[in-house]
């Protein structure tokens, strides 16, 4: 098939591109930046912003399936920026699929669309969206996910129906991760990393190659007649939660850093986050504060998910174990270019 990947130069997007190419699919990428290495690998690159409907229309024309991976992430910023990227960008893609008779989309969502700041233990897809939000990212992703899933079953001009599903990978990590892993290491080296809460909270994670494979499996399942995947959201993870702070200590050990030995209570971290949020908002400072309420509660609560639906409906299994993934991450981190 000819697949469009939005955000092909991003962490997860690039692994999806590589897996598509490896199995013989043609790939087109839509990105704001320039990625000559992707073009050299055979990706047909289109430059453009998701908020630009004309650019999106050009990128979507003629493709068989869209992997919508791109979006604005983070725990702080202006609502307008999150809305334009995550909501308006998704609406533009959905409209372009209708205009070009593209009948499949896999939407990369997030488990945070169900997070209200409280513990989540073995949560499945029946969990509702919260009524109050702690950050713009999960709020905007929930709106976009809801729009995407609501389009499932819409008729196309050629008589087929549009089919879409959403995947919710949690804490994606692995080689080439310049976000989660890099930030943990940078904060530890600068002496700014503190354990939040009692350190007993369990969290789900997912190794990046497993997350990418889940996207391909879901796309293939969407192509089947009467697909049970169409119109549904799915949690995907390693299948076994880890102790959040024990796992962070393991990452730090990969680069010979000591375990986190300083701590702050969850209550104090939430209070500090609220204070910093108010100050940043008052001063119109859109750089991320050192702590936010969303971050404090994410770092101190249980959040792990039931992935039986993904196993049942499109055969997802985390083929790369957490232990093997950590070994590969360590090798990458200790390369001169890591």
Residues near 81 by Cβ (< 8 Å), separated by ≥ 6? 72
Secondary structure (3-state) at 195: strand
* CA-closest candidate to residue 235, choices 261, 214, 251, 253: 214
Structure tokens at 202: 């369990």
Of 241, 225, 208, 235, nearest to 316 by C-alpha is 235
How far is it, in rounded angstroms, from Cα 97 to Cα 90?
11
In the 8-state DSSP scheme, what is residue 196? E
Terminal alpha carbon distance of the chain: 33
Exposure letters 174-200 (e unless 16+ CB within 10 A, then b):
bbebeebbeebbeebeeeebbbbbebe
Q: Rounded distance, CA 256 to CA 185, Å?
A: 10
- Of the candidates 15, 35, 82, 137, the residue annotated as catalytic is 137
Contact status, residue 76 vs residue 288, Cβ threshold 8 Å: yes
State yes or no: is 137 an active-site residue. yes
**Which residues are annotated as catalytic?**
137
């Amino acid at each position: 098939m000819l697949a469009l990947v939005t955000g092909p130069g991003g962490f997860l997007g690039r692994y999806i591109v590589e897996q598509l190419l490896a199995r013989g699919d043609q790939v087109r990428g839509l990105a704001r930046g320039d990625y000559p290495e992707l073009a050299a690998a055979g990706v047909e690159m289109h430059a453009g912003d998701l908020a630009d409907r004309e650019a999106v229309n050009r990128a979507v024309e003629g493709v068989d399936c869209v992997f919508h991976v791109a979006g604005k992430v983070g725990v702080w910023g202006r609502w307008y920026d999150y809305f334009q990227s995550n909501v308006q960008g998704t609406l533009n893609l959905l409209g372009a699929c209708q205009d070009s008779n593209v009948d499949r989309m896999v939407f990369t969502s997030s488990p945070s669309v169900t997070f209200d700041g409280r513990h989540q233990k073995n949560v499945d897809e029946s969990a509702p969206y919260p009524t109050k939000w702690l950050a713009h990212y999960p709020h905007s992703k929930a709106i976009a996910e809801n729009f995407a899933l609501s389009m499932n079953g819409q008729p196309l001009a050629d008589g087929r129906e549009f089919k879409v599903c959403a995947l919710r990978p949690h804490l994606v990590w692995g080689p080439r991760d310049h976000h989660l892993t890099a930030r943990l290491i940078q904060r530890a080296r600068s002496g700014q990393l503190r354990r939040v809460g009692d350190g007993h909270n369990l969290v789900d994670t997912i190794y990046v190659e497993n997350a990418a494979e889940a996207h391909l499996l879901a796309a293939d399942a969407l192509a089947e007649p009467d697909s049970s995947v169409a119109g549904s959201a799915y949690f995907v993870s390693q299948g076994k939660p880890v102790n959040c702070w024990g796992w962070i200590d393991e990452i730090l050990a990969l680069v010979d850093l000591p375990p986190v030995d300083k701590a702050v209570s969850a209550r104090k971290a939430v209070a500090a986050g609220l204070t910093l949020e108010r100050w940043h908002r008052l001063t119109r400072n859109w750089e991320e504060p050192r702590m936010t309420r969303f971050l404090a509660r994410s770092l101190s609560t249980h959040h792990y998910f039931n992935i039986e639906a993904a196993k049942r409906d499109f055969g997802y299994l985390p083929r790369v174990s957490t232990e093997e993934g950590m070994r590969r991450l360590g090798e990458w981190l200790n390369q001169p270019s890591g």
